[in-house]
Structure 1
Amino acid sequence: MTLAAAHVNTGDTAWLLAATALVLLMTPGLALFYGGMVRTKSVLNMLMMSFVSIALVTVVWLAVGYALAFDGDAFAGLVGGLGHAGMSGLGPGSVHGTVPTLLFATFQLTFAVITAALVSGAVADRTKFSAWLVFVPVWTLLVYVPVAHWVWGPGGWIGNALGALDFAGGLPVEITSGASGLALCLVLGPRLGFKKDAMRPHNLPMVILGAGLLWFGWFGFNAGSALGADGLAAAAFLNTMAAGCTGLLGWLFVEQKRDGHPTTLGAASGAVAGLVAITPSCGTVSLLGSLVVGLAAGVVCSYAVGWKFKLNYDDSLDVVGVHLVGGVIGTLLIGLFAEKAMTGGTEGLFYGGGLVPLGKQLLAVVAVAVYAFAVTYGLGKLLDRTMGLRASEEQEYTGLDLTVHAETAYDHGVLGHGAPTGASPVATSAQKVNTQA
């Protein structure tokens, strides 16, 4: 046994192996969640945008992403070094805390994967698949990796110099994906028929199944972030469960009061909103705090998803309303509900900590949201002017499944023997469909 191997805790390692698998499962779960929410003509394209993100982000992460996020600090708390580019020097005997470094790197990889996939929900039904293949790896390097370093990396300015708290990813995951989704919405413009045509979820059982898989995986996401099989992991696990429940109930309460009907989509969305909000705070607040965090997210996010109709940005699957707003709620409420018993030192305003912790959380939220939005908007504009970011009108009317992937999720007709339901007048036959991505 090597000296490094002697420091590995087998219990912690076993838990993190399981947690890593749980977080990876969240991306297929997200694919089902999003896939059920779109119309029948673009289901497969929606699934593909999540699944291909697994492969694209993995390659980038192993090449340079992990090193830039976690390999020391190379420049003023903004980015890491390249000493471990290509995972060089990280053999089986390398240890991060009490777990193998390779396992820690893989665990963090699954976070990067689902963050990129989350963005796809904001631009569903109208994005060129070829442009998405370019966007994901570049966005991961320019947006996710630096923010992950700021929050969790050695010497990162948010986690170290500022001292803001984020246990499991409210800033790098939820706020970056939500702000980036908003930026891409503005670059792309609304879907054809936005605010005029009904764009209801085509398969609510699929939505519920996806939400269930997300909830299941979220235990690995949050409790796994303790990086150990200990009491902190147990507390994060319970807080995750509690916030998901109050988020669900809060959303249904608003629907019943506002619309007179508690819906299946509302139940799924409310649970996800609560889980989003508890992500940054699950290891910093008590059980009471987690109940409040989840409830606040369920209520506020249920109203926030309607902002797109008033402000005229087409956030197709409510990434802004749930992930950006929910992430902001969960990150800010740390400044109110943080408890010393959970944080080891920092206390929120309601526990005698004053306004300073809340101010730190607010500064972190603003910095990350502005950075993610600005960089994504610039990247989106660049892609739009060079290779084109939006699918053609014909592709959008006919559906991206048939026009891009030459497949259909349901029996809308065989390729070459008629167009699918929802085809536009310009698509006179499936034989004439433009199959460019």
Structure 2
Amino acid sequence: MMRILKTWECDASLEIEKIKQGLDPLNSSSDIRTTVLKIIQDVKKNGDKAIAAYGKRFDKAPLSPEQFRVKEEEIEDAYKYVTGKFIKAIRLAIKNIQTYQNHIRIQNVKPLRSKGVILDTIYTPIDSAGIYVPGGAASYPSTVLMNAIPAQVAGVEKIVMVSPPKEDGNIPPERLVAAKEAGVSEIYKIGGVQAIAALAFGTKTIPSVDKIVGPGNVFVTLAKKEIFGYAGIDMLAGPSEVLIIADNHANPSYIASDLLSQAEHTPGISLLVTSSKLLAKQVLAEITLQIKTLSRSAGTNECLSKYGVIFITKNMNECIALSNAIAPEHLQIMTQNPKAVLSGIKHAGAVFVGDYTPVALGDYIAGPSHVLPTGGTARFSSGLSVNDFIKRTSVITYSQSALRSVQQDVSEISASEGLDAHAKSVKIRLDSGRKKPSVR
């Protein structure tokens, strides 16, 4: 069960750091790093042959390269195994995600013009993106949508999905239907480090892409770190986390359900920060009641015991300060005046305001991507969005008079760097006595 800690009796930041250190993928053993590098090099050298070998070894799915790509008939067949209600829900989620991503999409701006100088900016989508959708016990159709739709809205022409198959060599139908509905171009039955390496370097069967996004286990995360530079990546994500700020007006049953839903990820970090001792006790009592009804109660309870903490603070200002120090992936605010608390928040991946806004809305249907910064990285980064698939290119135009007006300044700076050819590239254009070379 969750621990209760009073901030005046402990170092809250240290307690959080202990939890994070135990879950940080970058703290992995050298053996894991060695394995990741070995697989990447093998795929880079041997391509499809290596991928087939690792698929058989890790996924227990003996697929040949000809079987990697999901056929159109398989996708059509997947629709027979999902309900109409599921398809309706997926389409609503897609509509909401598209609406939000279009709303925040960077737009071309008017050029800056001043005395013969034009400074313009062009925004263009990347050509291709690869999305990684993990396997395991759950099917994760939501992960397909939250990664693919922002890329689609950006205008990415080719969206390639990789996902580990089950032992029978198939990908769950929910994933396939979500991918089809989201406009994914190609789907491959591969997972793990080998999938990341394939997307980065390409093989005879699998195309390389410009950017790789999507969550995964420690092996996948480290693989993304190693291939960065050959392809772009979204982030190095760790386990999911929620921090709830609540006061004595909050409903303890709501809070308990949200802490449990986070711990259901196993592992998932569940934190409650409150100035109410009574609320802390009520929440614990609710957790005890609710956990008995969950299908994954054993794992969820173990997760709460390891990675769940209730912090009791002296006041609400301390709650806000502690939240900013932690910079959580998900922040929920359940107080009498949530806007007042929100005004003090500086760092969070996504904020959920009020009693009727559980994290599950952000996970599935609201619109913003659920791919969010973890482990305190919300201090300097944001969640995945349409703009992560768009590049910015500056366009600079100077007239002759504008060039002349800055000639001396360019010369001064280039001289300080010992790069006289830079200054001469300006001077040669302004040398009135120099004639253009004749063309023969």
Shorter-chain-normalised TM-score: which range?
under 0.3
Structure (1/2) with the larger strand percentage: 2
Q: TM-score, normalised by structure 2?
A: 0.25
The structure in which a higher percent of residues are helix is 1
TM-score scaled by structure 1? 0.25
